[in-house]
Structures are given as structure tokens and as C-alpha cells.
Amino acid sequence: MIFQNLKKILILLLGILIILIAILAFSFLNQKEITGQIINEYTYTTAVCNENNLCQDYEISCQDEKVIDIKPTGYIVQNSKDWKDPRNPEDIKQWCNIN
């Protein structure tokens, strides 16, 4: 009886060990090449508003200070006619130059 339980435990531990080895092997094989270069890629969202205060949210993808991609998120807000954008006008115009 004790020998059968020990055998089951050993089989379970062996299975776990095989799974762990497979995960480690996959992670080593799937590594990207290390070049030493610093890649400054980031994504953020910002609202773009028109003269009627209709604002649409966009996802901006940047690499360093260069725009890589611009995608609408699907979120749109119609603000009132007297609404003023509280953001600094210079910040609104600058994409991919976030401090």
C-alpha cells in the first residue's frame, strides 16, 4: 500500500518536472536576440477635438519621437458649445514627445 502511494507521488513529480523542463526549453528557444539597443516604444491615448467640441479618443503608438500608428479607440464625446479644452494647447499638438 505504501509502495503504491510512493509510486503515484513519484509519477506525479516526474510529470511536473517534465512540464517545467518543457516550459523552460520553450522560453529559451523563444527569446528575442539581445542587441544592446534601447528601443523606446510606447503607446498612449489622447483626445482629438474639432471646432464643434466633438472629441474622439485615439491610441497613438510611438517609437522615440516618431508616430508609428494612430488608431481610433471608438470613444467619442460631444462636449457643450461653451466647453474649453483644459489641456495646454502646446501639449495637444505634440504627439510622441511626452515628458
What pLDDT was estimated at residue 1? 66
Statement: the pTM of the whole predicted model exceeds 0.75: no
Greater confidence (73 vs 93) lies with 73
If residue 36 lies in a helix (H) or strand (E), which one and from where to where? none
Q: Which has more pLDDT, 63 or 93?
A: 63
- With a CB cutoff of 8 Å and minimum separation 6, the contacts of 72 are 56, 57, 58, 59
User: Which residue type is seen at 66?
Assistant: K
Q: Which residue has the cell 503608438?
A: 61
State the pLDDT at residue 25.
83
Q: In terms of Cα–Cα distance, which of 18, 15, 64, 62 is closest to 37?
A: 64
Share of the chain above pLDDT 90, in %: 49
**Mean pLDDT across 49-58:** 94
The span from the CA of 9 to the CA of 26, in Å, is: 26
pLDDT tens-digit series, residues 58-90: 999 999 889 999 999 999 999 999 999 998 888
